[in-house]
Amino acid sequence: MKILVLVSGNGSNLQALIDAERRNALGSGRITAVISDKADAFALKRAVRAGIPAFVEAPDPSLPKAERRLDLSNRILRRARDMDADLIVYAGFLSILSGDLINVFAGRMINIHPSLLPKFGGEGMFGNRVHAAALAAGETESGCTVHFVDAGTDTGPVVLQRRVPILPGDTPSTLADRIHKEEHIAIVEAVAKIGSV
């Protein structure tokens, strides 16, 4: 199972996948390429260090929003087809994709989100905003969700979730750290689950 991983930032979820592949914990999964939508993402360095081909596909700021999304999606679709990808993993990938890619990779594209979806998902819900919203809502637990990507944002069928307690005195950052550790387990389990089918 050839895996294309999409990233935007630090790439600790990508690192969890790289480490899991090394210890043979990804089922039949092999990470065969990484694409970042940001040229300065540290995740790119992690890919290069692991010997994985890494590419930048940045959104074109000269295009209006819908066209910009479609243009980026089509470039990613082209690369996915070129490498004959079986699975696309959004691992801390912040762009929203659209168009043919969503149909061509339906059921073969997953995202990790740092909340117990359907709570605290949707456009604009990323980073500490998610955790601030969970705290403001008075939740007693949160967690992370791996789900299939569909045409909505954070709406596709759930692959798996991992839960953490919300503790007295939590801030968005302390909660984010607790959830991040679970993400690293969840993303590996989800890929292994899909790779074993």
Q: Which of 114, 121, 143, 156 binds ligand GRF (CB under 6 A)?
A: 114
Whichever of 67 and 177 has its CB closer to ligand GRF, that residue is: 177
d(CA 70, CA 51): 29
Residues 121, 155 contacting (CB under 8 angstroms): yes
Q: Which stretch binds ligand GRF (CB under 6 A): 46-54, 73-81, 110-118, 157-165?
A: 110-118
The β-bridge partners of 14 are: none
Q: Which of 4, 9, 31, 77 binds ligand GRF (CB under 6 A)?
A: 9
CA distance to 125, 166, 171, 178, per residue, from 134 (Å):
11, 9, 10, 13
What is the strand order of the sheet 30-36 is part of?
54-56, 30-36, 2-7, 87-90, 109-113, 141-148, 158-165
CA distance to 41, 42, 44, 197, per residue, from 10 (Å):
6, 5, 9, 30
Does 156 interact with ligand GRF (rule: CB under 6 A)? Answer: no
Q: Which of residues 68-107 bind ligand GRF (CB under 6 A)?
A: 91-92
Question: Does 184 participate in catalysis according to the annotation?
Answer: no
Q: Which stretch binds ligand GRF (CB under 6 A): 9-17, 134-142, 151-159, 163-171?
A: 9-17
Residues 54, 36 contacting (CB under 8 angstroms): yes
Q: Which of residues 29-58 bind ligand GRF (CB under 6 A)?
A: 43
Q: Which of 113, 131, 147, 178 binds ligand GRF (CB under 6 A)?
A: 113
To the nearest whole angstrom, how small is the minimum distance from the Cβ of residue 10 to ligand GRF?
4
**Beta strand pairing call for 54-56 and 30-36:** parallel
Using CB under 6 A as the criterion, which residues of the chain lie in contact with ligand GRF when the complex forms?
9-13, 43, 91-92, 112-114, 126, 180, 183
Give the residue numbers marked as catalytic: 113
